[in-house]
């Protein structure tokens, strides 16, 4: 396990230059790459079936790593998994460009503890009165602005909210190797594209469409759950205190189930976010398949008596 000095070094303080650079790269590089991909498309170098397949495949893996791995497994422990599955989910999550494993889990647990209150790292609800300008500021903060705010991106003693993960030396090594995963997230689709095309052009197109464009679409879909999922439209079947989480059908589709955000906030430990037959939760379906295969077990499934009671409980 890591030394006490390492935990202390990670636990609090202002954003370091390396963190600022990392967050800037995560936000700007996929955008620049997407603009470049669209530009060269206009000049005759558009995506073919290989590039579109890389985009779709890596997008799905991206969301699986974040939503099933980082979110439902590591942050909420909604099921138990074999060591090989645990490592695979940690790696896929690390390739998804949303942050190092233990940091992401800690920030998410803080989000649930202080939902839409002071202490919530990325709530869009804390920018003052509800003027249109403040609403836009809140959405920006909940989407990406919080990444550049030291109090939000590096709150004091954040590591305390992920101490269970620090006890696993393999997960800790994956966490520390995050910068390498960022590079690999671009290189993998680039190498596959180069091999399939047998050309440098294929390598570059793979890097753009399976890498930059995929990351831009996936990260913004995920960040939209934090920003739009706590501020705009949707439905709140479960209302409690300051919690402004909402269910969004379209967000649920593009995030493979994360968009049923109000359901999730009401019962964060369930392995599925779908409480009705029409609520599509592809991540929940994948978890069910993994359970049938024997790779995971003790899956925490919805208790519909509790759900119905919560819906009728006016105090909630």
> Is residue 150 exposed (0-12), middle (13-18) or buried (19+ Cβ within 10 Å)?
middle
118-127 residues labelled b (16+ CB within 10 A) or e (exposed)? eebbbbbbbb
pTM (predicted TM-score): 0.92
**Six token digits for residue 30:** 């996929």
Q: How far apart are CA 36 and CA 195, in angstroms?
A: 22
Alpha helices in 228-260 (DSSP H): 249-254
Query: For every residue of 168-235, which 3-state class applies, written as one string?
Result: CHHHHHHHHCHHHHHHHHHHHHHHHHHHHHCCHHHHHHHHHHHHHHHHHHHHHHHHHHHHHHHCCCCE
In the chain, the N- to C-terminal Cα span, in Å, equals 41
pLDDT in tens, the chain (316 residues): 444 444 434 455 567 888 888 999 999 999 999 999 999 999 988 899 999 999 999 999 999 999 999 999 999 999 999 999 999 999 999 999 999 999 999 999 999 999 999 999 999 998 777 788 999 999 999 999 999 999 999 998 899 999 999 999 999 999 999 999 999 999 999 999 999 999 999 999 999 999 999 999 999 999 999 999 999 988 888 988 889 999 999 999 999 999 999 999 999 999 999 999 999 999 999 999 999 999 999 999 999 999 999 888 755 4
């Amino acid at each position: 396990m890591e030394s006490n000095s390492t935990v202390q070094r990670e636990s609090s303080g202002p954003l370091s230059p390396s963190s600022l650079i990392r967050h800037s790269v995560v936000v700007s590089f996929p955008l620049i790459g997407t603009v470049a991909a669209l530009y060269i498309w206009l000049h005759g170098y558009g995506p073919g079936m290989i590039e579109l397949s890389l985009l779709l495949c890596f997008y799905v893996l991206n969301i699986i790593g974040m939503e099933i791995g980082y979110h439902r497994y590591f942050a909420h422990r909604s099921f138990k998994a074999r060591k090989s599955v645990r490592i695979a989910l940690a790696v896929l999550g690390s390739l998804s460009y949303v942050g190092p494993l233990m940091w992401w889990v800690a920030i998410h647990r803080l989000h649930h503890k202080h939902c839409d209150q002071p202490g919530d790292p990325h709530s869009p609800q804390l920018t003052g009165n509800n003027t249109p300008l403040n609403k836009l500021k809140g959405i920006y903060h909940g989407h990406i602005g919080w990444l550049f705010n030291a109090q939000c991106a590096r709150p004091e003693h954040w590591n305390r909210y992920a101490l269970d993960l620090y006890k696993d030396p393999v997960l800790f090594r994956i966490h520390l190797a995050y910068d390498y995963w960022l590079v690999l997230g671009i290189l993998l689709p680039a190498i596959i594209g180069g091999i399939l095309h047998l050309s440098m052009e294929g390598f570059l197109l793979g890097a753009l469409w399976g890498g930059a464009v995929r990351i831009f679409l996936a990260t913004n879909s995920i960040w939209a759950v934090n920003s739009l999922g706590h501020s705009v439209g949707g439905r709140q079947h479960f209302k409690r205190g300051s919690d402004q989480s909402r269910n969004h059908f379209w967000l649920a589709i593009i995030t493979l189930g994360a968009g049923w955000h109000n359901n999730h906030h009401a019962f964060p430990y369930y392995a599925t976010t779908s409480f009705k037959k029409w609520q599509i939760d592809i991540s929940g379906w994948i978890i069910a398949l993994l359970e049938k295969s024997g790779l995971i077990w003790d899956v925490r499934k919805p208790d519909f008596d509790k759900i119905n009671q919560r819906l009728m409980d006016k105090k909630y």
